[in-house]
């Protein structure tokens, strides 16, 4: 992509200390341990460096793929001509400005966030302590477990609006949270941080609840094998794992990908799974479950398509708006002239 090449050249010249890796394999950046190379992989050290990266990408019409811990994504083996921006460097975590709140930047892990809240006697994040993602990814996905979800604890979210190049704050009630999704997916944005509203409680009691949930997780989930967590969303009127199990698919294998024998809702990498293995296996699971139950399973994992290009069409859209305004002004003038 021409714009991306230009942006890479610009960032190399203007930001010599930037951690930018060209032709980086995504295998080590995804918990599934699959995926090919992306044209550029960038880990800005803080929000300010990240906004500078976004500026250069925007000026060259490139939309980045923003990721956190890569625990819910897969990239094709053939690689993608895109720029991945990882939020790992956005790691600030502190008490919030109002009572019983905590502020965490997007790259903070949910485990660290939950532990910080617990140590400060604040309850509400126990459900999140075993989810292996980052704050940004969890907000984007409205991550949840054991009856809790991000929606319940978010006071506000700070995001970088990519097409406008501006930081904005969004109140929790305006985040468009729904089951495993948020309104942020519809906006070209990077989540930079969030404020969590929590409830005071005894740190020991909070720690005990966290231990209990994490024991449950260890007992029921195949945490010893690479995966991206639950492969499918919970469908209306059922549980994906139960439907897959009832369809006789536990242990079903394509290449190195397998429906986990421990938890049918997980697809695991037995060691040498490829993107194609995972996609083929998930297609087979969807078809078989539909044939047996009439229920369509929707993937929870973000499977990026082969050949995907991320283009920031701000110039085209801005021109479109200007053309519309000019047309409307012209029409008004013509109308005024005809009434003379
Ligand atoms: C073993 C295991 C167990 C899991 N258990 C659970 C569970 O119990 N509940 C649950 O909900 N999920 C679970 N997951 C899935 C995953 O951990 C969550 O969805 C998590 O919230 C993803 O966070 P991440 O930082 O890894 O996001 P990524 O995988 O990096 O990204 C996920 C999506 O969010 C976007 N994104 C990430 N960060 C940002 C940002 N800062 N700004 C804008 N967009 C961003 C990405 O573009 C992508 O679309 C599990 C995964 C594994 C591997």
Q: Which secondary structure element, helix H or strand E, spans residue 144, and what is its range? A: strand 144-145
Instruction: Quickly state the pLDDT bin for 31 (edges 50, 70, 90).
Output: very high
CA dihedral (158, 129, 299, 305) positive or negative: positive
Q: Which of 30, 31, 41, 72 to mutate to test the pocket of ligand 1 (most atoms within 8 A of CB)?
A: 72
Identify the pLDDT of residue 312. 84
- Which tokens go with 201? 């409680």
Mean pLDDT of the chain: 95
Per the CB < 8 A criterion, the answer to whether 252 and 267 are in contact is no
Instruction: Quickly state the pLDDT bin for 322 (edges 50, 70, 90).
Output: confident
Q: How far apart are CA 74 and CA 20, in angstroms?
A: 20
**pLDDT tens-digit readout, 127-156:** 999 999 999 999 999 999 999 999 999 999
Beta bridge partner(s), residue 197:
101
Identify the pLDDT of residue 193. 98
DSSP helix/strand/coil, 161: strand
**Beta-sheet pairing, 101-105 with 122-123:** unpaired
Give, as one character, the DSSP assignment of residue 307. T
Identify the pLDDT of residue 192. 98
Q: How far apart are CA 47 and CA 160, in angstroms?
A: 9
pLDDT tops 90 at residue 318: no
pLDDT tops 90 at residue 319: no
Entry pTM:
0.93
**pLDDT tens-digit readout, 161-208:** 998 899 999 999 999 999 999 999 998 999 999 999 999 999 999 999
Per the CB < 8 A criterion, the answer to whether 26 and 10 are in contact is no
Lowest mean pLDDT among 50-59, 132-141, 328-337: 328-337
**pLDDT tens-digit readout, 229-274:** 999 999 987 899 999 999 999 999 999 999 999 999 999 999 999 9
Alpha helices in 37-109, H assignment, sequence order: 47-59
Identify the pLDDT of residue 16. 96
Q: How far apart are CA 101 and CA 125, in angstroms?
A: 12
List domains and CATH numbers for the chain: 2-86 (3.30.43.10), 93-205 (3.30.465.10)
**pLDDT tens-digit readout, 101-123:** 999 999 999 999 999 999 999 99
226 lines ligand 1 (CB under 6 A): no
**204 assigned to active site:** no
47 lines ligand 1 (CB under 6 A): no
Q: How far apart are CA 4 and CA 20, in angstroms?
A: 13
Nearest-CA residue for ligand 1 atom 34 is: 137
**pLDDT tens-digit readout, 266-315:** 999 999 999 999 999 999 999 999 999 999 999 999 999 999 989 888 77
Nearest-CA residue for ligand 1 atom 1 is: 229
Percentage helix, strand, coil for the chain under 3-state DSSP, each rounded to 5: 40, 25, 35
Identify the pLDDT of residue 340. 77
- For ligand 1, the distance from its centroid to the CA atom of residue 320, given in whole angstroms, is 35
Give, as one character, the DSSP assignment of residue 251. T
Instruction: Quickly state the pLDDT bin for 323 (edges 50, 70, 90).
Output: confident
């Amino acid at each position: 992509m021409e714009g991306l090449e230009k942006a890479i050249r610009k960032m190399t010249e203007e930001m010599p200390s930037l951690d930018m890796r060209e032709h980086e394999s995504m295998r080590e950046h995804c918990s599934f341990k699959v995926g090919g190379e992306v044209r550029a992989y960038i880990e800005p050290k803080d929000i300010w460096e990240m906004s500078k990266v976004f500026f250069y990408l925007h000026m060259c019409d490139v939309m980045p793929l923003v990721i956190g811990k890569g625990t819910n994504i897969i990239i094709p083996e053939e690689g993608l001509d895109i720029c991945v921006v990882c939020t790992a460097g956005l790691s600030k975590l502190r008490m919030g400005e109002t009572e019983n709140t905590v502020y965490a930047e997007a790259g903070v892990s949910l485990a660290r966030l939950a532990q910080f809240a617990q140590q400060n006697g604040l309850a509400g994040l126990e459900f999140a302590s075993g989810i292996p993602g980052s704050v940004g990814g969890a907000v984007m996905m409205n991550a949840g477990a054991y009856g809790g979800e991000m929606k319940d604890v978010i006071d506000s979210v700070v995001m970088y609006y990519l097409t406008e190049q501006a930081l904005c704050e969004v109140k929790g009630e305006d985040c468009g949270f729904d089951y495993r999704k948020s309104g942020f997916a519809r906006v070209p944005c990077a989540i930079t941080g969030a404020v969590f509203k929590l409830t005071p409680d005894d740190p020991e009691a909070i720690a005990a609840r966290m231990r209990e949930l994490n024991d449950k997780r260890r007992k029921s989930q195949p945490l010893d094998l690479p995966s991206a967590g639950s492969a499918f969303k919970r469908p209306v009127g059922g549980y994906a794992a139960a439907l897959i199990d009832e369809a006789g698919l536990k242990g079903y294998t394509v290449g190195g990908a397998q429906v986990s024998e421990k938890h049918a809702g997980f697809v695991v990498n037995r060691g040498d799974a490829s993107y194609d293995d995972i996609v083929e296996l998930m297609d087979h699971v969807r078809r078989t479950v539909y044939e047996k139950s009439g229920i369509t399973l929707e993937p929870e994992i973000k499977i990026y398509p082969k050949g995907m290009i991320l283009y920031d069409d701000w110039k085209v859209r801005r021109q479109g708006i200007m053309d519309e305004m000019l047309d409307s002004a012209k029409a008004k003038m013509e109308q005024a002239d005809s009434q003379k």
